[in-house]
Chains A and B, each alone.
Chain A
Amino acid sequence: MEFKDYYQILGVDKSATADGIKKAYRKLARQYHPDISKEADAAQRMAEINEANAVLSDAEKRAAYDTVGAQAWARGARSGDDVRPPPGWNAGYEFSDSGPENFRANFSDGNGGHFSEFFEQMFGRAQAGEGTRARARRAYSDQGDAQPRMRGEDQHARIELELIDACRGAERQISLRGAKLDANGHVVPEERTLQVKIPPGVKEGQLIRLAGQGGPGYNGGPAGDLLLEVQIRPDPRWRVDGRDVIQRLRVAPWEAALGASVEIATPDGKAVEVTVPSGSGAGRKLRLKGRGIPSSNTPGDLYLELEIAVPGAVTPEQNTAWEALSGAYPGFDPRRV
Protein backbone atom coordinates (compact mmCIF):
# COMPACT_ATOMS: atom_id res chain seq x y z
CA MET A 1 0.00 0.00 0.00
CA GLU A 2 1.45 3.34 -1.00
CA PHE A 3 1.48 6.00 1.70
CA LYS A 4 -0.07 9.23 0.48
CA ASP A 5 1.59 12.49 1.52
CA TYR A 6 -1.47 14.69 1.39
CA TYR A 7 0.42 17.78 2.53
CA GLN A 8 2.83 17.48 -0.35
CA ILE A 9 -0.01 16.90 -2.79
CA LEU A 10 -1.67 20.17 -1.72
CA GLY A 11 1.65 21.95 -1.45
CA VAL A 12 1.13 23.00 2.16
CA ASP A 13 3.13 22.70 5.32
CA LYS A 14 2.03 20.23 8.01
CA SER A 15 1.18 23.20 10.21
CA ALA A 16 -1.15 24.72 7.61
CA THR A 17 -4.39 26.15 8.94
CA ALA A 18 -7.78 24.97 7.74
CA ASP A 19 -8.12 28.19 5.78
CA GLY A 20 -4.71 27.65 4.21
CA ILE A 21 -5.65 24.14 3.16
CA LYS A 22 -8.91 25.39 1.66
CA LYS A 23 -7.10 28.06 -0.35
CA ALA A 24 -4.47 25.63 -1.58
CA TYR A 25 -7.15 23.13 -2.61
CA ARG A 26 -9.21 25.70 -4.50
CA LYS A 27 -6.19 26.97 -6.35
CA LEU A 28 -5.16 23.47 -7.44
CA ALA A 29 -8.76 22.54 -8.30
CA ARG A 30 -8.87 25.46 -10.68
CA GLN A 31 -5.52 24.50 -12.22
CA TYR A 32 -6.33 20.83 -12.73
CA HIS A 33 -10.07 20.90 -13.40
CA PRO A 34 -10.42 18.19 -16.09
CA ASP A 35 -12.91 20.24 -18.12
CA ILE A 36 -10.51 23.14 -18.48
CA SER A 37 -6.96 22.04 -17.76
CA LYS A 38 -4.58 21.34 -20.62
CA GLU A 39 -2.32 19.25 -18.39
CA ALA A 40 -2.02 15.69 -19.70
CA ASP A 41 -2.54 14.15 -16.26
CA ALA A 42 -5.24 16.54 -15.08
CA ALA A 43 -7.78 13.86 -14.18
CA GLN A 44 -5.29 11.87 -12.11
CA ARG A 45 -3.96 14.96 -10.38
CA MET A 46 -7.52 16.08 -9.64
CA ALA A 47 -8.22 12.69 -8.06
CA GLU A 48 -5.17 13.05 -5.80
CA ILE A 49 -6.04 16.63 -4.90
CA ASN A 50 -9.63 15.72 -4.05
CA GLU A 51 -8.48 12.86 -1.86
CA ALA A 52 -5.93 15.00 -0.04
CA ASN A 53 -8.55 17.66 0.57
CA ALA A 54 -11.10 15.09 1.78
CA VAL A 55 -8.65 14.17 4.56
CA LEU A 56 -6.95 17.43 5.44
CA SER A 57 -10.11 19.56 5.39
CA ASP A 58 -11.79 17.24 7.92
CA ALA A 59 -10.45 17.87 11.42
CA GLU A 60 -10.92 14.31 12.63
CA LYS A 61 -9.53 12.66 9.51
CA ARG A 62 -6.58 15.03 9.54
CA ALA A 63 -5.82 14.23 13.18
CA ALA A 64 -5.97 10.51 12.49
CA TYR A 65 -3.79 10.89 9.40
CA ASP A 66 -1.22 12.94 11.31
CA THR A 67 -1.17 10.32 14.09
CA VAL A 68 -0.53 7.46 11.72
CA GLY A 69 2.18 9.37 9.90
CA ALA A 70 3.95 10.43 13.12
CA GLN A 71 3.83 6.96 14.68
CA ALA A 72 5.11 5.31 11.55
CA TRP A 73 8.02 7.76 11.35
CA ALA A 74 8.85 7.07 15.04
CA ARG A 75 8.96 3.37 14.21
CA GLY A 76 11.57 4.05 11.60
CA ALA A 77 9.34 4.21 8.55
CA ARG A 78 11.16 6.08 5.82
CA SER A 79 9.09 5.18 2.80
CA GLY A 80 5.49 4.51 1.91
CA ASP A 81 5.95 0.77 2.22
CA ASP A 82 6.94 1.09 5.87
CA VAL A 83 3.68 2.74 6.86
CA ARG A 84 0.82 0.61 8.23
CA PRO A 85 -2.07 1.86 10.36
CA PRO A 86 -1.61 0.12 13.73
CA PRO A 87 -4.43 -2.02 15.16
CA GLY A 88 -7.12 0.07 16.80
CA TRP A 89 -5.52 3.28 15.56
CA ASN A 90 -8.90 4.82 14.90
CA ALA A 91 -10.34 4.10 18.35
CA GLY A 92 -12.22 7.14 19.51
CA TYR A 93 -12.58 8.62 16.04
CA GLU A 94 -15.98 8.84 14.44
CA PHE A 95 -15.66 10.25 10.99
CA SER A 96 -18.44 12.11 9.35
CA ASP A 97 -18.84 13.64 5.98
CA SER A 98 -16.98 16.93 5.81
CA GLY A 99 -19.21 18.22 3.04
CA PRO A 100 -22.33 20.32 3.23
CA GLU A 101 -25.60 18.81 4.28
CA ASN A 102 -26.92 17.72 0.99
CA PHE A 103 -24.05 16.42 -1.07
CA ARG A 104 -20.76 14.63 -0.97
CA ALA A 105 -17.52 15.31 -2.79
CA ASN A 106 -16.94 12.74 -5.45
CA PHE A 107 -16.49 14.88 -8.49
CA SER A 108 -13.85 15.22 -11.13
CA ASP A 109 -11.63 12.73 -9.44
CA GLY A 110 -10.95 10.65 -12.51
CA ASN A 111 -11.63 7.48 -10.62
CA GLY A 112 -15.38 7.24 -10.88
CA GLY A 113 -15.76 8.63 -7.37
CA HIS A 114 -13.28 6.44 -5.47
CA PHE A 115 -10.13 7.17 -3.60
CA SER A 116 -6.85 5.33 -3.27
CA GLU A 117 -6.32 2.05 -1.46
CA PHE A 118 -4.50 4.02 1.25
CA PHE A 119 -7.57 6.20 1.86
CA GLU A 120 -9.94 3.23 1.88
CA GLN A 121 -7.74 1.35 4.35
CA MET A 122 -7.57 4.31 6.69
CA PHE A 123 -11.04 5.71 6.45
CA GLY A 124 -13.17 2.88 4.95
CA ARG A 125 -16.57 4.14 3.84
CA ALA A 126 -19.03 2.11 5.83
CA GLN A 127 -17.31 3.08 9.06
CA ALA A 128 -16.60 6.64 7.99
CA GLY A 129 -20.12 7.49 7.07
CA GLU A 130 -21.06 9.36 3.96
CA GLY A 131 -23.19 12.46 4.18
CA THR A 132 -26.93 11.99 4.09
CA ARG A 133 -26.73 8.21 4.16
CA ALA A 134 -24.53 8.19 7.26
CA ARG A 135 -26.70 10.69 9.06
CA ALA A 136 -29.80 8.66 8.22
CA ARG A 137 -28.19 5.50 9.50
CA ARG A 138 -27.08 7.18 12.72
CA ALA A 139 -30.49 8.74 13.22
CA TYR A 140 -32.14 5.33 13.02
CA SER A 141 -29.48 3.86 15.28
CA ASP A 142 -29.89 6.59 17.89
CA GLN A 143 -33.60 5.98 17.99
CA GLY A 144 -33.03 2.29 18.52
CA ASP A 145 -34.56 1.46 15.17
CA ALA A 146 -33.08 -1.03 12.77
CA GLN A 147 -30.89 0.67 10.20
CA PRO A 148 -32.61 1.07 6.87
CA ARG A 149 -31.68 -0.72 3.70
CA MET A 150 -30.11 1.90 1.48
CA ARG A 151 -29.27 1.83 -2.18
CA GLY A 152 -25.61 2.18 -3.07
CA GLU A 153 -24.42 5.25 -4.88
CA ASP A 154 -24.20 5.64 -8.62
CA GLN A 155 -20.68 5.81 -10.01
CA HIS A 156 -19.42 7.52 -13.11
CA ALA A 157 -16.68 6.64 -15.56
CA ARG A 158 -15.71 7.52 -19.13
CA ILE A 159 -15.12 5.13 -22.00
CA GLU A 160 -13.40 6.05 -25.26
CA LEU A 161 -14.49 4.28 -28.43
CA GLU A 162 -13.34 4.28 -32.04
CA LEU A 163 -16.05 5.58 -34.36
CA ILE A 164 -16.56 2.16 -35.93
CA ASP A 165 -17.19 0.65 -32.49
CA ALA A 166 -19.61 3.45 -31.61
CA CYS A 167 -21.55 2.53 -34.75
CA ARG A 168 -21.40 -1.27 -34.56
CA GLY A 169 -21.11 -1.84 -30.86
CA ALA A 170 -18.18 -3.56 -29.23
CA GLU A 171 -17.09 -5.73 -26.33
CA ARG A 172 -14.99 -3.85 -23.84
CA GLN A 173 -13.23 -4.63 -20.59
CA ILE A 174 -13.49 -1.84 -18.04
CA SER A 175 -11.26 -1.80 -14.96
CA LEU A 176 -12.63 0.03 -11.95
CA ARG A 177 -11.30 0.74 -8.51
CA GLY A 178 -14.12 0.64 -6.02
CA ALA A 179 -15.20 -0.77 -2.69
CA LYS A 180 -17.10 -3.75 -1.39
CA LEU A 181 -18.36 -4.92 1.96
CA ASP A 182 -16.47 -7.77 3.59
CA ALA A 183 -18.04 -10.39 5.87
CA ASN A 184 -17.82 -7.99 8.83
CA GLY A 185 -19.59 -5.20 6.98
CA HIS A 186 -16.41 -3.17 6.56
CA VAL A 187 -15.75 -1.47 3.28
CA VAL A 188 -12.56 -2.72 1.70
CA PRO A 189 -10.95 -1.68 -1.56
CA GLU A 190 -11.76 -3.72 -4.59
CA GLU A 191 -10.54 -3.72 -8.15
CA ARG A 192 -13.15 -4.96 -10.59
CA THR A 193 -12.98 -5.73 -14.26
CA LEU A 194 -16.25 -5.73 -16.13
CA GLN A 195 -16.80 -7.28 -19.55
CA VAL A 196 -19.43 -5.14 -21.24
CA LYS A 197 -21.11 -5.35 -24.61
CA ILE A 198 -21.46 -1.74 -25.76
CA PRO A 199 -24.70 -1.43 -27.76
CA PRO A 200 -24.45 -0.16 -31.35
CA GLY A 201 -25.28 3.44 -32.15
CA VAL A 202 -23.76 5.41 -29.27
CA LYS A 203 -22.90 9.05 -29.79
CA GLU A 204 -20.46 11.40 -28.08
CA GLY A 205 -21.59 12.24 -24.56
CA GLN A 206 -24.19 9.51 -24.40
CA LEU A 207 -24.56 7.65 -21.11
CA ILE A 208 -24.71 3.90 -20.78
CA ARG A 209 -26.20 2.63 -17.53
CA LEU A 210 -24.87 -0.63 -16.12
CA ALA A 211 -27.49 -1.52 -13.55
CA GLY A 212 -26.20 -2.67 -10.20
CA GLN A 213 -22.54 -2.12 -11.03
CA GLY A 214 -22.13 0.98 -8.88
CA GLY A 215 -21.40 1.36 -5.17
CA PRO A 216 -22.49 -1.41 -2.77
CA GLY A 217 -25.80 -1.02 -0.99
CA TYR A 218 -26.02 -0.57 2.78
CA ASN A 219 -27.59 -3.01 5.13
CA GLY A 220 -28.78 -5.25 2.35
CA GLY A 221 -29.88 -2.48 0.01
CA PRO A 222 -29.35 -2.80 -3.73
CA ALA A 223 -26.15 -1.65 -5.37
CA GLY A 224 -26.08 1.61 -7.33
CA ASP A 225 -25.52 1.86 -11.05
CA LEU A 226 -22.40 2.55 -13.07
CA LEU A 227 -22.88 5.33 -15.64
CA LEU A 228 -20.44 5.26 -18.54
CA GLU A 229 -20.01 8.46 -20.54
CA VAL A 230 -19.06 7.76 -24.14
CA GLN A 231 -16.25 9.66 -25.82
CA ILE A 232 -15.42 9.03 -29.45
CA ARG A 233 -11.70 8.98 -30.18
CA PRO A 234 -10.71 11.84 -32.53
CA ASP A 235 -9.64 10.68 -36.00
CA PRO A 236 -8.15 12.81 -38.79
CA ARG A 237 -10.32 11.01 -41.35
CA TRP A 238 -13.65 12.30 -40.04
CA ARG A 239 -15.43 14.65 -37.72
CA VAL A 240 -18.51 13.86 -35.69
CA ASP A 241 -21.42 16.20 -35.01
CA GLY A 242 -24.03 14.45 -32.91
CA ARG A 243 -24.91 11.40 -35.00
CA ASP A 244 -23.75 13.00 -38.26
CA VAL A 245 -20.29 12.17 -39.58
CA ILE A 246 -18.33 14.40 -41.93
CA GLN A 247 -15.71 12.58 -43.98
CA ARG A 248 -13.23 13.91 -46.51
CA LEU A 249 -13.42 12.37 -49.99
CA ARG A 250 -10.42 12.95 -52.25
CA VAL A 251 -11.15 12.88 -55.96
CA ALA A 252 -9.03 13.45 -59.07
CA PRO A 253 -9.71 16.63 -61.06
CA TRP A 254 -11.21 14.64 -63.95
CA GLU A 255 -13.47 12.76 -61.54
CA ALA A 256 -14.77 16.06 -60.18
CA ALA A 257 -15.20 17.55 -63.66
CA LEU A 258 -16.63 14.54 -65.46
CA GLY A 259 -18.30 12.75 -62.59
CA ALA A 260 -17.34 9.33 -61.27
CA SER A 261 -18.45 6.36 -59.22
CA VAL A 262 -16.11 5.85 -56.27
CA GLU A 263 -16.04 3.33 -53.46
CA ILE A 264 -15.83 4.56 -49.88
CA ALA A 265 -15.91 3.01 -46.41
CA THR A 266 -18.73 4.23 -44.18
CA PRO A 267 -18.16 4.85 -40.44
CA ASP A 268 -19.53 1.40 -39.61
CA GLY A 269 -16.97 -0.23 -41.91
CA LYS A 270 -19.20 -1.02 -44.90
CA ALA A 271 -18.10 -0.40 -48.50
CA VAL A 272 -20.51 1.61 -50.64
CA GLU A 273 -20.40 3.08 -54.14
CA VAL A 274 -20.91 6.82 -54.29
CA THR A 275 -21.65 8.88 -57.39
CA VAL A 276 -19.65 12.09 -57.67
CA PRO A 277 -21.77 14.39 -59.84
CA SER A 278 -20.06 15.98 -62.84
CA GLY A 279 -19.02 19.59 -62.34
CA SER A 280 -18.31 19.12 -58.64
CA GLY A 281 -16.04 21.63 -56.96
CA ALA A 282 -13.84 21.40 -53.90
CA GLY A 283 -15.80 21.59 -50.65
CA ARG A 284 -19.01 20.24 -52.14
CA LYS A 285 -20.82 18.00 -49.65
CA LEU A 286 -22.51 14.79 -50.71
CA ARG A 287 -25.08 13.55 -48.22
CA LEU A 288 -25.61 9.84 -47.58
CA LYS A 289 -28.81 9.76 -45.57
CA GLY A 290 -28.85 7.44 -42.59
CA ARG A 291 -25.21 6.38 -43.01
CA GLY A 292 -23.93 8.20 -39.95
CA ILE A 293 -24.06 6.82 -36.40
CA PRO A 294 -27.12 4.54 -36.26
CA SER A 295 -30.06 5.02 -33.93
CA SER A 296 -33.36 3.29 -33.27
CA ASN A 297 -35.00 6.69 -33.78
CA THR A 298 -33.23 8.94 -36.25
CA PRO A 299 -29.86 7.72 -37.52
CA GLY A 300 -27.29 10.30 -38.42
CA ASP A 301 -26.15 11.12 -41.95
CA LEU A 302 -22.75 10.78 -43.59
CA TYR A 303 -21.49 13.87 -45.38
CA LEU A 304 -18.65 13.45 -47.89
CA GLU A 305 -16.70 16.67 -48.29
CA LEU A 306 -14.94 16.71 -51.65
CA GLU A 307 -11.27 17.52 -51.82
CA ILE A 308 -9.60 17.78 -55.20
CA ALA A 309 -6.31 15.88 -55.26
CA VAL A 310 -4.11 17.42 -57.95
CA PRO A 311 -1.43 15.09 -59.38
CA GLY A 312 1.93 16.69 -60.13
CA ALA A 313 3.31 17.18 -63.65
CA VAL A 314 6.45 15.07 -63.57
CA THR A 315 6.96 13.33 -66.89
CA PRO A 316 7.00 15.10 -70.29
CA GLU A 317 3.72 13.41 -71.13
CA GLN A 318 2.10 14.73 -67.97
CA ASN A 319 3.37 18.23 -68.69
CA THR A 320 1.91 18.01 -72.19
CA ALA A 321 -1.42 16.82 -70.80
CA TRP A 322 -1.66 19.73 -68.36
CA GLU A 323 -0.69 22.29 -71.02
CA ALA A 324 -3.36 20.87 -73.32
CA LEU A 325 -5.89 21.17 -70.50
CA SER A 326 -4.87 24.78 -69.93
CA GLY A 327 -5.27 25.48 -73.64
CA ALA A 328 -8.77 24.04 -73.61
CA TYR A 329 -9.87 26.73 -71.11
CA PRO A 330 -8.51 30.01 -72.56
CA GLY A 331 -10.79 32.30 -70.53
CA PHE A 332 -10.71 30.42 -67.25
CA ASP A 333 -9.47 32.55 -64.30
CA PRO A 334 -10.04 30.93 -60.88
CA ARG A 335 -9.03 34.14 -59.08
CA ARG A 336 -11.73 36.18 -60.74
CA VAL A 337 -14.70 36.57 -58.41
Chain B
Amino acid sequence: MSPTTPTLVPAELVELLDDAALTLHELAQGCSVTPEWVHVHVEAGVLIPARGSQAAEWRFAIATLTRARRIAELEYTYDADPQLAALATDLMEEVAQLRRQLVLLGG
Protein backbone atom coordinates (compact mmCIF):
# COMPACT_ATOMS: atom_id res chain seq x y z
CA MET B 1 0.00 0.00 0.00
CA SER B 2 1.30 3.51 -0.75
CA PRO B 3 1.95 5.96 2.12
CA THR B 4 -1.17 7.85 3.09
CA THR B 5 -1.62 11.49 3.98
CA PRO B 6 -1.86 11.73 7.77
CA THR B 7 -5.29 12.35 9.19
CA LEU B 8 -5.26 14.92 11.96
CA VAL B 9 -7.14 13.68 15.00
CA PRO B 10 -8.88 16.68 16.62
CA ALA B 11 -7.78 17.37 20.19
CA GLU B 12 -11.35 16.97 21.48
CA LEU B 13 -11.29 13.32 20.36
CA VAL B 14 -8.09 12.57 22.31
CA GLU B 15 -8.74 11.55 25.90
CA LEU B 16 -6.31 10.51 28.63
CA LEU B 17 -7.95 7.66 30.51
CA ASP B 18 -7.46 7.97 34.23
CA ASP B 19 -7.70 5.17 36.72
CA ALA B 20 -11.10 3.81 37.73
CA ALA B 21 -12.62 5.16 34.51
CA LEU B 22 -14.16 2.14 32.77
CA THR B 23 -17.70 0.89 33.14
CA LEU B 24 -18.56 -2.80 32.71
CA HIS B 25 -19.60 -2.22 29.12
CA GLU B 26 -16.52 -0.17 28.31
CA LEU B 27 -14.29 -2.87 29.75
CA ALA B 28 -16.11 -5.55 27.74
CA GLN B 29 -15.83 -3.48 24.60
CA GLY B 30 -12.15 -2.84 25.14
CA CYS B 31 -11.53 -6.57 25.48
CA SER B 32 -13.88 -7.70 22.69
CA VAL B 33 -15.78 -9.84 25.19
CA THR B 34 -19.42 -9.79 26.25
CA PRO B 35 -20.55 -7.97 29.39
CA GLU B 36 -21.57 -11.38 30.70
CA TRP B 37 -17.96 -12.55 30.47
CA VAL B 38 -16.87 -9.59 32.59
CA HIS B 39 -19.69 -10.21 35.06
CA VAL B 40 -18.77 -13.87 35.46
CA HIS B 41 -15.12 -13.03 36.01
CA VAL B 42 -15.92 -10.39 38.63
CA GLU B 43 -18.17 -12.86 40.45
CA ALA B 44 -15.32 -15.38 40.34
CA GLY B 45 -12.91 -12.83 41.84
CA VAL B 46 -10.70 -12.86 38.76
CA LEU B 47 -11.41 -9.22 37.90
CA ILE B 48 -11.89 -6.67 40.65
CA PRO B 49 -13.72 -3.36 40.21
CA ALA B 50 -11.94 -0.35 41.68
CA ARG B 51 -15.27 0.81 43.08
CA GLY B 52 -18.98 0.05 43.02
CA SER B 53 -20.94 -2.69 44.74
CA GLN B 54 -23.34 -3.49 41.91
CA ALA B 55 -22.67 -4.10 38.24
CA ALA B 56 -24.17 -0.78 37.16
CA GLU B 57 -21.86 1.00 39.59
CA TRP B 58 -18.69 -0.90 38.80
CA ARG B 59 -15.76 1.17 37.65
CA PHE B 60 -12.57 -0.55 36.58
CA ALA B 61 -9.00 0.71 36.62
CA ILE B 62 -7.22 0.97 33.30
CA ALA B 63 -4.78 -1.72 34.42
CA THR B 64 -7.77 -4.06 34.64
CA LEU B 65 -8.33 -3.66 30.91
CA THR B 66 -4.86 -5.03 30.19
CA ARG B 67 -5.39 -7.81 32.73
CA ALA B 68 -8.78 -8.77 31.29
CA ARG B 69 -7.43 -8.89 27.74
CA ARG B 70 -4.61 -11.13 28.89
CA ILE B 71 -6.98 -13.49 30.73
CA ALA B 72 -9.37 -13.67 27.78
CA GLU B 73 -6.47 -14.45 25.47
CA LEU B 74 -5.22 -17.28 27.66
CA GLU B 75 -8.72 -18.74 27.97
CA TYR B 76 -9.18 -18.65 24.22
CA THR B 77 -5.75 -19.90 23.23
CA TYR B 78 -5.50 -22.76 25.70
CA ASP B 79 -9.18 -23.51 26.50
CA ALA B 80 -8.04 -22.53 29.96
CA ASP B 81 -10.19 -22.52 33.06
CA PRO B 82 -10.73 -18.88 34.12
CA GLN B 83 -8.95 -19.45 37.43
CA LEU B 84 -5.96 -20.98 35.67
CA ALA B 85 -5.87 -18.11 33.19
CA ALA B 86 -6.00 -15.71 36.14
CA LEU B 87 -3.17 -17.56 37.89
CA ALA B 88 -0.97 -17.30 34.81
CA THR B 89 -1.86 -13.63 34.52
CA ASP B 90 -0.99 -13.05 38.17
CA LEU B 91 2.41 -14.59 37.57
CA MET B 92 3.01 -12.53 34.43
CA GLU B 93 2.07 -9.34 36.27
CA GLU B 94 4.41 -10.22 39.12
CA VAL B 95 7.28 -10.84 36.67
CA ALA B 96 6.61 -7.45 35.06
CA GLN B 97 6.57 -5.78 38.48
CA LEU B 98 9.82 -7.46 39.49
CA ARG B 99 11.45 -6.33 36.26
CA ARG B 100 10.36 -2.75 36.92
CA GLN B 101 11.79 -2.94 40.44
CA LEU B 102 15.03 -4.29 39.03
CA VAL B 103 15.29 -1.30 36.71
CA LEU B 104 14.61 1.06 39.62
CA LEU B 105 17.42 -0.55 41.58
CA GLY B 106 19.73 0.23 38.71
CA GLY B 107 19.90 -3.31 37.42
Q: Which residues of A contact B (CB under 8 A)?
A: 25-26, 29, 35-36, 99-100, 102-108, 113, 117, 131-132, 151, 153-154, 156, 173, 189-199, 201-202, 205-213, 224, 227, 229, 234, 239, 241, 246, 297
Contacts and interface: CB of A to CB of B under 8 A. Distances in A.
B7 A206 contact: no
Given A35-B92, A191-B4, A103 B32 contact: yes
Interface string B5-26: 1111101011111100000000
A173 B106 contact: no
Nearest to B93: A35
A208 B16 contact: yes
Contact of A207 (B1, B11, B62): B62
A206 B16 contact: yes
B34 A209 contact: no
Contacts of A100: 76
Contacts of A103: 31-34, 37, 72, 76
Given A35-B92, A209-B15, A210-B14, A195 B6 contact: yes
B80 to A, nearest CB: 10
Contacts of B62: 205-207
Interface of B: 1, 3-9, 11, 13-18, 29-34, 36-37, 62-63, 65-66, 69-70, 72-73, 76-78, 92, 95-96, 100, 103-104, 106
A132 B37 CA distance: 13
A246 B6 contact: no
A285 to B, nearest CB: 12
A282 to B, nearest CB: 13
Contacts of A229: 66
